[in-house]
Each structure stands twice: as C-alpha cells, then as structure tokens.
C-alpha cells in the first residue's frame, strides 16, 4: 500500500533538482573527449563540488594512468591540507582494497570533523578513488551517493578512454620515433655507402693514374715528362691545388730543374739555380732537414717574412705551400715536391697519403733516370776504351744461339753496327784453315761450358790479316767474353 507524500510540491522540486544534477553529471563526458587524466580529474571535482554542498572532494589516480600518480583536492575552506597529506590519511583509514572500504568514516581532516565516503574508480579501484566529505553527520544522503557513484562511473569510462588514447599516442609516438630512427639510420647508411662508392671510385682513379705514371717510368719516358704528368695527376686528384717538382744537384748544391706545368716560367725560372738552403725557401728547408715543411698561410707566416721566396709566391697568387722531400732508397734527397694553394690550407690525411704515393713514384723515376744517365756515360767510356785497345765484347746464349757484339767487336769483324750476328756470319769471316778450330771451341763451349782462350785468323777483303784472340766463360747459360786483336800484313 503506497504511503501518502507529505508536501508533494517540495518533493517534486527536489526530484527535479536531482534530475538536473544527474543530467549535469551525465554531460561531463562531452567535456572530457580527448582530454588527459589531469583535465578529467579537475573538471570532475569542480563539478561535484559545485553540484553538492560538500566540505571536501578528493581524487587520486594510480600510476598506471599516464605514468604518474595524480592527487587533487577541493575544499570549502582555504586552509585545507595538501592533497598528499589528505591522501596519506585516507589510505590509513580506507586501505588499498575497495571491497573492504567502509561506507562512511567519521574522521578529522585538518581541524574539522567530517563524514567521509569513498568510491572506487575503475574495476576494484584499479584507476584510483574519489572521496567526498561533509561536516553533516547524515552525509552522504541517498541522492549524494547516487550522484557521486554516477560521476565516478562516468569518470572511470573517460579515464579508461584517456588511458587507451594515451597508450595509442604512446604507440604512435614510439612508432614515429622508430620510423625517424630507422630513417636516420638508413640516411646514415646511404651516406656511408655514398662515401664508400666515392672513395672506391677515387681509389680506382688514383690507382689508374699511378699505374700510368709507373708505365711512363718503365717505358723510359723523359724524366721531365714523368714529373709533369705526376704534377697534373695530383692536381686532378686532389683538386684546387698547383704542384711542382724540383730536382737537386748536391755537388753545387742547388735546385737545377723545376717542373710546374700549371705555373708560368716567371715562377719556376727564379727557383732554378737557387741554393739549397733552409732559410731561402720551404723546399730548401725540406731538403736539408729531410722532412715535410708546411706553411698553411704564407702571408702571415713569420718564418718567411721579408723573403724573396714569399714575394715570389704572393706575386703569383699562392697563399699556402706544402713541401715534401723526395728520397732515394738510400735516404738521399733527390728532389722536393711542392703543393700550392691560392688560399690558406693544411694537408688532410687523404692528401698526406696521396703525397706519400706520388713522392715514392717520383723517387723511382728520378733514380731510374739517374741510373740510365750513369749507364750511358759508362757505356760511352767503355766503347771509347774498347776502341783504343782494339777489344770488343760479345754475349752468346747457348740455348738460342742469340749473339750480341759490342760496337768495337762489330768493327773488328767488319759487321754492320745494327745488324744481327750469327755463328754462320762469324764462320764466314774466319780463315779456312781456322774453321775447324772455331768449330771445336764452339762444341767445347756447348758441351762443358768451360773457359776458352784461343786465337784465330780473320780473312777480310781489303784489309790486313787480323788475329783476334777470344776469351770467354759461361754463367747462367750465357757465354760472355771479348775479342782482342792485332793487325798483321799478309806474307
């Protein structure tokens, strides 16, 4: 049987206020869309504090939301304790397990006695808790508990969505970070690959250039041509530089020849004949001290101020000089190699490596040229000595019968100077009575390789009889010896 309602008008107004408050609570999720947990908590406690007549509203979020614990408090008085202090008291009174929480706790907060009610956020309080309090002993009323419970449920849904959104943002940020990191790694790998390809191409080009220089040396090209090609090779390989090579005659001592194909004669001419002295120029210092000398900025280098050398370089627009001695295998300085720039510059490790390679090739070319010049002089002296002593030399490979006569030997036998010599040609010049002697000695040489010393007669058309004496020995399959002769008139 239904009980009659006293004061129905007031009850209707109370129910309307309750419905309006409930609608306000249900409208909160619209303001939380896309918001973070702090925003949700702040609007939650502000809304509850404004709808209900309360002395305390406290919200705590666990660390699993956003990675940090959030605690907020609203109170009717300005002298309310801090949220952390209230949270510590509440954990003491309520504990950590929502299923054991009492419905209401009467306790002191600050200097006031309050009735406290706690509602979990999330399943079993996994997200946190919301606590409301008032001085009234009958707090909370049914309406207040309903509104707080609905607000907690709405906040739990919004917080879970915020957590999902936060996780999605975290995943998105992590994905972006990994993509950016991978992009950077790929860019670095591509750059390393590009540098490696460029370095390999540079190395191939440099190796081809060095091989071409060595082929020039091996083929006997003139030393000046080799050094000029070497300078151009360095200029093309290093770029933005000018090179020069300067030979030294230590019997003077002075620079006797300069090769700088990219510089005018007005630059190289003053260097030729310049004494090799360390105070005169960088190349002189490099040669005397047997070390590389570098002037990164000749214009400001105090070592060369007020020198003719500095004025010469600056007049031709050269600002930096690197001079390196070119050393023979014995350690003797053969020449210097200089690299010039029209700006201040210092050698990089790659430039130093290139300098080491080309100075080594230059030392080979210079030593070969000097050896060939010495050999030419020696051959000239030998030919003159053979002519004066009427002694000619020969070589004979026993396996191929390849015979070579010196100039004087060809003169003795009256052979053409550039013609090839054979045993048949030699036999044709021998006196008939000595053919057998020649054959026996040839056979002896083939069979035993022993030393020979015999005299034969040459029969020539319009000349006195010649009596050349042959002396020879065999080494490594080649018989070498000489013909010495005297001329006698026929009887």
Report the pLDDT value the prediction gives residue 397, as an integer from 0 to 100: 81
Report H helices in 52-138.
Answer: 83-94
Task: Tell me, letter by letter, the H, E, C secondary structure of 177-212.
Answer: HHHHHHHHHHHHHHHHHHHHHHHHHHHHHHHHHHHH
Q: Which two tokens mark 117?
A: 């009610």
pLDDT in tens, 116-148: 898 888 888 888 889 998 998 889 988 888 889
pLDDT in tens, 352-384: 999 999 999 999 999 999 888 777 776 666 666
Report the pLDDT value the prediction gives residue 383, as an integer from 0 to 100: 62
pLDDT in tens, 46-74: 888 888 888 889 998 886 555 667 888 88
**Maximal C-alpha separation, the chain:** 182
Distance (Å, whole) CA 56 – CA 355: 84
Res 486 pLDDT > 70: no
Contacts of 108 (CB under 8 A, 6+ apart): 114
C-beta of residue 295 within 8 angstroms of C-beta of residue 304: yes
Report the pLDDT value the prediction gives residue 328, as an integer from 0 to 100: 94
Q: What percent of the chain has pLDDT over 70?
A: 87
pLDDT in tens, 208-227: 888 999 899 889 899 999 99
Phi, psi of 107 (to 5 degrees): -150, 170
pLDDT in tens, 329-357: 999 999 999 999 999 999 999 999 999 99
Q: What angle do CA 129, 99, 118 make, to 5 degrees?
A: 35
Res 191 pLDDT > 80: yes
User: What pLDDT band is residue 279 in, cutting at 50, 70 and 90?
Assistant: very high
Please give the CATH topology (third level) of the domain spanning 220-376. Answer: Beta-Lactamase (3.30.450)
User: What pLDDT band is residue 256 in, cutting at 50, 70 and 90?
Assistant: very high
Report the pLDDT value the prediction gives residue 402, as an integer from 0 to 100: 83
pLDDT in tens, 75-87: 877 667 888 888 8
Q: What percent of the chain has pLDDT over 90?
A: 35
Residue 120's DSSP bridge partners are 129
Residue 454's DSSP bridge partners are 470
Which of 315, 348, 331, 335 minimizes the C-alpha distance to 230?
335
Q: Which CATH architecture has domain 390-488?
A: 2-Layer Sandwich (3.30)
Report the pLDDT value the prediction gives residue 63, as an integer from 0 to 100: 67
Distances (CA, A) of 411 to 121, 386, 479, 484: 124, 11, 20, 12
The domain spans of the chain are: 8-172, 220-376, 390-488
Report the CATH number of the 8-172 domain.
Answer: 3.30.450.40
Distance (Å, whole) CA 334 – CA 321: 19
C-beta of residue 43 within 8 angstroms of C-beta of residue 74: no
Res 251 pLDDT > 80: yes
Alpha carbon 163 to its chain's center: 48
Phi, psi of 126 (to 5 degrees): -65, -25
The residue behind tokens 């300067």 is: 246
User: What pLDDT band is residue 451 in, cutting at 50, 70 and 90?
Assistant: confident
User: What pLDDT band is residue 405 in, cutting at 50, 70 and 90?
Assistant: confident
pTM of the full predicted structure? 0.55
Distance (Å, whole) CA 315 – CA 336: 22
Res 488 pLDDT > 50: no
Report the pLDDT value the prediction gives residue 464, as an integer from 0 to 100: 62
Res 295 pLDDT > 90: yes
């Amino acid at each position: 049987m239904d009980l009659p309602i006293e004061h129905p008008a007031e009850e209707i107004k109370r129910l309307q206020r309750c419905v309006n408050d409930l609608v306000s609570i249900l409208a909160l999720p619209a303001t939380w869309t896309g918001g973070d947990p702090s925003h949700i908590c702040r609007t939650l406690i502000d809304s509850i504090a404004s709808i209900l007549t309360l002395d305390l509203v406290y919200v705590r979020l666990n660390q699993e939301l956003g990675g940090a614990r959030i605690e907020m408090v609203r109170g009717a008085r300005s002298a309310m304790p801090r949220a952390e202090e209230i949270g510590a008291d509440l954990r003491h009174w309520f504990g950590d397990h929502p299923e054991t929480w009492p419905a209401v706790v009467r306790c002191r907060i600050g200097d006031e006695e309050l009735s406290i009610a706690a509602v979990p956020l999330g399943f079993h309080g996994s997200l946190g808790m919301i606590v409301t309090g008032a001085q009234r002993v009958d707090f909370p009323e049914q309406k207040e508990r309903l509104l707080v419970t609905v607000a907690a449920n709405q906040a739990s849904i919004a917080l879970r969505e915020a957590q999902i959104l936060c996780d999605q943002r975290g995943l998105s940020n992590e994905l972006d970070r990994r993509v950016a990191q991978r992009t950077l790694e790929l860019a670095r790998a591509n750059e390393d690959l590009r540098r490696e390809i460029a370095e390999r191409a540079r190395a191939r080009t440099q190796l081809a250039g060095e091989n071409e220089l060595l082929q020039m040396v091996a083929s006997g090209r003139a030393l000046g041509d080799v050094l000029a090609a070497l300078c151009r090779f360095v200029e093309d390989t290093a770029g933005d530089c000018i090179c020069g090579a300067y030979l030294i005659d230590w019997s003077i001592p002075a620079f006797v020849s300069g090769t700088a194909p990219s510089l005018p004669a007005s630059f190289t001419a003053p260097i030729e004949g310049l004494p090799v002295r360390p105070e005169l120029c960088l190349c002189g210092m490099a040669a005397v001290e047997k070390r590389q000398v570098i002037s990164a900025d000749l214009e400001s280098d105090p070592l060369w101020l007020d020198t003719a050398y500095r004025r010469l370089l600056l007049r031709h627009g050269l600002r930096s000089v690197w001079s390196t001695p070119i050393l023979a295998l014995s350690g003797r300085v053969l020449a210097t190699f200089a690299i010039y720039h029209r700006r201040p510059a210092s050698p990089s490790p790659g430039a130093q490596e290139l300098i080491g390679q080309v100075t080594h090739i230059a030392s080979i070319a210079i030593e070969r040229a000097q050896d060939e010049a010495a050999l030419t002089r020696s051959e000239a002296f030998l030919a003159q000595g053979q002519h004066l002593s009427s002694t000619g030399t020969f070589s004979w490979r026993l396996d191929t019968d390849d015979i070579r006569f010196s100039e004087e030997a060809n003169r003795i036998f009256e052979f053409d100077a550039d013609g090839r010599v054979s045993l048949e040609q030699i036999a044709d010049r021998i006196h008939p009575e000595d053919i057998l002697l020649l054959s026996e000695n040839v056979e002896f040489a083939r069979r035993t390789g022993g030393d020979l010393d015999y005299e034969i007669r040459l029969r020539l058309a319009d000349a006195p009889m010649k009596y050349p004496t042959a002396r020879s020995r065999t080494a490594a399959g080649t018989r070498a010896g000489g013909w010495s002769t005297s001329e006698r008139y026929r009887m």
